[in-house]
Structure 1
Amino acid sequence: MRVSARNLLKNTLDLPPSLRTQAYATAANTSAAQPCTVPPWRPSNVLDDWVARDVRPISLRQLTFFGRTLTEPRLLESANYVRLELPTRIAHRLRNMQTLPYTALTNEHISHVYELYYGAFERFRKVSEVRNLDDNDRYCAVLKQTLNEHLSVIPRLAMGVLEIQDTIGPDQSDLLMKTLLRSRISRRVIAEQHLALTETFHSPWHFPNAKKPATLTPEDDFVGEILLKCNAKEIIEKCAATATQLASKAYGSEVAIPKIVLQGHLDTTFPYIPSHIEYIIGELLRNSIQAVIEQKGSSEPPPIEVLICEAAQHVIIRISDQGGGIERDVLPYLWSFAKGPRRYRRLENLATVPRLKATMQELEPGAASHSDKVKHGSSLSSLSSRPPELRLGMGLPMSKIYAKYWAGSLELHSLEGYGCDAFLQISRLGNKNEVLTTRASMDAV
């Protein structure tokens, strides 16, 4: 919407008081000959009520125990948890965005994300209590629609934070990006888990006395979206195959691809959401393969070593390559979405990716995963249509967000002129709550 300075002042009537001063300043510097784009605003009373609610974090273990014995009352309880939790979490993020300088909110990408969030908030908060299975089916349809609508959030948000740095600074841009992405993961986890539980409930084999066919073994290992015995070796091999295929497509079949050598505790299993761990491992292996190929050229490349270490509380996966290490000008900005010397190239590349789910499956055309059986656009897949050489500069920082979400960690050590060691640590027991950013913790930063 293109408006004059007079209309801009008129639009501030619906702004929270704390933002009106900024809006007036913007209007004072805006002439009729220089219109600007202004996101629509609404009264904040309803949003205030939801922001005042506390977020209720969950763990993989809680989700597993809850979904193992699935009855109709439990399914309805799950629906009502999600029904209240989603608008609460969205409300906190809307309030974060409202505290940005008004000029930042007029950015077309940030405004687009804000509008998607506000539309979802309005839709979710108006859903009445889920009392029966018909209510649940209608609610699931709303969830699926919203999940698919929000596939444009990641690229638009990334472009927005790159463009508003001059307004709010790169550090605050990074904080905004990480906060919104972590919250996005949390919302999609609880929404996709409920959708998967609903699908399980409607399957005739899930009842205790039902005879399960022999071909149903994979589903027995899942509770919703959670794989109870996620095998580290199998995950790494799957990701290695995808990354190798991608590298061969990018560099040509005549280029030698480094081998992936697995060592350590190869029988290690742990409860996890496969799409999360696949994304992290896939990005790390893809980066290592690309670095080794570009470092060694046409010569025989050294292998990439992957070590799996199983401890009492954690599983640690180390990925070591001999790809020459990370350039000095890039290394300080390794985990940043907004900073670094390749900022403008990222912006150009992101403009070619309108929808992004952030999954390993996006890297492999036609790939499928367990979560694909729920037809709602899994949180973790449209890079499948992306040229393999198109680099967005988001893989490592996004991987770190995924790792830290379940109270894990991701560190990378670069040996200049030699290679890199990446260390991924995850909880072996699945008993750690999701790491969320609340409104209060944002204010404290």
Structure 2
Amino acid sequence: MYRYAPSSLPRLTRRCNNTFVATLQQGPAAITANFVIRRQAHSIHSWQPSFALEEHVARDARPISLRQLTFYGRNLTLDRLLDSANYVRTELPTRLAHRIRDMQRLPYVVVTNPNVSKVYEKYYNSFELLRKTPEITTSEGNDEFCQLIRRMLTENLSVIPDLAIGALECRDFVPAAELDSFLRTMLKSRISRRTIAEQHVALTDTYNSPFFFPHVPQNGVSRDHTNGADFVGEVFLKCNAREVVEKCGKLCQYLSRQANGPDSPVPEIIIDGHPEATFPYIPSHLEYIIGELLRNSIQATIERHGGDGNSNLPPINVLICQTAQYVIFRISDQGGGIPQDIFPHIWSFSKGPRRQKQLQNISLVPTMSATLQELFHTGAKEGTIENGKVRGTSLAPLSHRPPNLRLGLGLPLSRVYAEYWAGSLKLHSLASYGVDTILQINKLGNNLERLVERRNLDGI
């Protein structure tokens, strides 16, 4: 059975050894009495949470699609809000339990790494709080539950950098392929938990807003509507391909000028194809991917062509295509391609020739939100007003880091985001010329989130 957080294991072992030696010196009777007392206390206290963990590990996660996420928000009523709350209340501890078990299966030397241990303790504390939350039956109970979720979302912002640093520090103890598989699963699960949690919090904010008027069915018929809003919680029903590329492109160009000087040249971003394609999506997921890809292209183009003072940099071309089921973004640059020593490792979290530099850079970004969105970010300089509330920019502090602060996480994390909603991300590097990156996303919103089940990690 599993119970103790990794960081407490060495301390626990020393304490048990010292007690055992002291008991031996007291004779056989003391040994028997001590054993009985400790076994009784252990069975009452220490093992109880472990049984709860086993119970939740035995359950399967219930994947959800974008359409299902919007279901609770359409014709939003108190009953639907409470249904959403209880889905989140039961689903979060189940998904956490699977990830806790995955960490328990890691080699001991990895589990006791301070950064991995910190993540374990955060997850176990969150699991304990969530599994003890009673059924939510009132609006007041839902408000208290949302306060708990908000606190957890804030407390766990350091998980991604902790996992990244832990993986880089432990890559000599676990095969790289297994460590990458573990990290991808951890990150997909983290995205999924934050997605359903933030969606419920956003629906609660909508319901509590003075600008929201619950729909009352007429003649027993409930029309499918969203009170005229383009957002249903965190899902944007009319996500526009051109607007996403332009928003991310302007931010990346601005950051480049901040880093290199206000008059420094930046490549133009040319959009072509079907730029007016619209689809339901969570903007922060798409903006993170597009932002990272444009950031890489802009930085590579400047480094290859801007060193001689050339102000006419070759443009970055973004071709947008749409089919009946997909929207496809192809981002092409002339930044010289990816160096041969790096290309084999571009999708890996834990391997590559620049590990030490990655460790230094990641330590400068102590917190990362899984959706890169601060739900209650009051200091945002840009945003939209919805139902009288300022919705902060979905490009959060991680996206605002300097272009030359390379973390080694952008491409692998972008692929995790793309695959989460059954999309894909591929990259083709042309040596001494440039890179073509192809992002494909589902425009129908009917694909279930892709979660890696526990059986796929039994070998780790």
Name the TM tier (shorter chain).
0.7 to 0.9
Contact 2:195/2:371, CA 8 A, preserved across alignment: no
**Deviation of the 1:253 alpha carbon:** 2.2
Change (3 A) 1:218 1:411: farther
2:319 is aligned to 307
Distance 1:379 1:245 in 2: 16
Matching residue within 336, 351, 361 for 2:363: 351
Distance 1:82 1:383 in 2: 27
Distance 1:100 1:419 in 2: 39
1:238 is aligned to 247
1:90 aligns with 2:102: no
**Deviation of the 1:194 alpha carbon:** 0.2
Secondary structure of the equivalent of 2:351? coil
Secondary structure of the equivalent of 2:415? helix
1:21 is aligned to none
1:56 is aligned to 62
1:169 aligns with 2:178: no
**Deviation of the 1:167 alpha carbon:** 1.6
Distance 1:418 1:427 in 2: 30
**Deviation of the 1:165 alpha carbon:** 1.3
Distance 1:132 1:316 in 2: 43
Pairwise CA RMSD of aligned residues? 2.9
2:114 is aligned to 108
Distance 1:384 1:272 in 2: 19
**Deviation of the 1:391 alpha carbon:** 1.3
Secondary structure of the equivalent of 2:435? strand
Distance 1:144 1:251 in 2: 37
1:407 is aligned to 422
* Correspondences of 1:310-329 after superposition (within 5 Å): 310-329=322-341
Secondary structure of the equivalent of 2:158? helix
Distance 1:142 1:108 in 2: 26
Q: Provide, for residues 330-362 of structure 1, a one-character-per-residue CA deviation record: whole Å limited to 9, x for no partner.
A: 000011110111111101111222111156679
1:391 aligns with 2:406: yes
Distance 1:198 1:375 in 2: 15
Distance 1:335 1:374 in 2: 38
**Deviation of the 1:257 alpha carbon:** 0.4
Distance 2:233 2:11 in 1: 51
Partner letter of residue 271 of structure 1? P
Secondary structure of the equivalent of 1:309? strand
1:7 is aligned to 14
**Deviation of the 1:380 alpha carbon:** 7.1
Partner letter of residue 314 of structure 2? P
Contact 1:324/1:415, CA 8 A, preserved across alignment: yes
Distance 2:49 2:214 in 1: 50
Distance 1:85 1:322 in 2: 45
**Deviation of the 1:102 alpha carbon:** 1.2
Secondary structure of the equivalent of 1:68? coil
2:433 is aligned to 418
Q: Which has the larger radius of gyration?
A: 2
* Correspondences of 1:95-244 after superposition (within 5 Å): 95-207=101-213, 220-244=229-253
**Deviation of the 1:233 alpha carbon:** 0.4
1:253 aligns with 2:268: no
Q: How many residues align?
A: 410
Contact 1:256/1:301, CA 8 A, preserved across alignment: yes
Distance 1:186 1:248 in 2: 35
**Deviation of the 1:51 alpha carbon:** 0.3
Contact 1:147/1:377, CA 8 A, preserved across alignment: no
Distance 1:98 1:371 in 2: 44
Distance 2:56 2:393 in 1: 26
Change (3 A) 1:360 1:152: closer
**Deviation of the 1:386 alpha carbon:** 4.3
Change (3 A) 1:278 1:284: same
Contact 2:234/2:282, CA 8 A, preserved across alignment: yes
**Deviation of the 1:376 alpha carbon:** 12
Contact 2:383/2:390, CA 8 A, preserved across alignment: no
Change (3 A) 1:134 1:360: closer
Contact 2:77/2:214, CA 8 A, preserved across alignment: no
**Deviation of the 1:66 alpha carbon:** 2.9
Secondary structure of the equivalent of 2:448? coil
Partner letter of residue 190 of structure 1? I
Partner letter of residue 326 of structure 2? H
Distance 1:4 1:429 in 2: 52
Change (3 A) 1:119 1:390: same
Q: Provide, for residues 276-311 of structure 1, a one-character-per-residue CA deviation record: whole Å limited to 9, x for no partner.
A: 000000000010000100010221111100011010
Change (3 A) 1:377 1:370: closer
**Deviation of the 1:427 alpha carbon:** 0.4
**Deviation of the 1:255 alpha carbon:** 2.0
Change (3 A) 1:431 1:296: same
Secondary structure of the equivalent of 1:220? coil
Partner letter of residue 390 of structure 1? L
**Deviation of the 1:176 alpha carbon:** 1.6
Partner letter of residue 418 of structure 2? A
Partner letter of residue 450 of structure 2? V
Q: Provide, for residues 89-123 of structure 1, a one-character-per-residue CA deviation record: whole Å limited to 9, x for no partner.
A: 00000000000111111100000000000010001
Calculate percent identity across the aligned residue pairs.
Answer: 54
1:214 is aligned to none
**Deviation of the 1:381 alpha carbon:** 3.0
Distance 1:152 1:218 in 2: 36
Distance 1:94 1:376 in 2: 33
Change (3 A) 1:378 1:236: closer
2:455 is aligned to 440
Change (3 A) 1:104 1:375: farther
2:292 is aligned to 283
Partner letter of residue 188 of structure 1? R
1:428 is aligned to 443
Partner letter of residue 381 of structure 1? A
Secondary structure of the equivalent of 2:429? strand
Change (3 A) 1:9 1:411: farther
